[in-house]
Amino acid sequence: MSQFGTHAEAVASGSLAGYNAASQAFGHAPLQLPRTTAIGDIIAYANEKMETKEGRRNRYTFAGAEYFEHMKEAGLYTLDVKEIEERIEKAGLKDVFKRKIV
């Protein structure tokens, strides 16, 4: 069972998993998304929480109370598309899934 509870998280983590599977099949290092991005942060946050018994009982979503509060406190929550694009570019992730693996 996935630790993520909504479509957005499942699509993002599934896309990353597929990309990393293909990357590793061709001898490339896996892509790790930084915590400066919401998806990188939720993956790291959920992994940390999964280390505890209580954390394994929870699902982590962008809309969920626990992670949503963390996301706001970390300064990651925004609806400003330009700000999101700037974060992605600064992290070196612009068009990352367009990069050729083969």
pLDDT score for 1: 42
Q: For residues 69 and 98, give the distance between their C-alpha atoms in angstroms, rounded to a whole number.
A: 32
Domain that holds residue 15: 7-98
Report if residue 91 sits inside a domain: yes
Task: Report, as ranges of residue numbers, the positions in the chain whose pLDDT lies below 70.
Answer: 1-6
- Specify the number of domains making up the chain: 1
Q: Which residues, in sequence order, are CB contacts of 4 under 8 Å at separation 6+?
A: 10, 13, 42, 46, 59, 60, 61
Residues counted in the chain: 102
Q: Quote the pTM value.
A: 0.81
**Residue 36 belongs to some domain of the structure:** yes
In a domain, residue 2? The reply is no
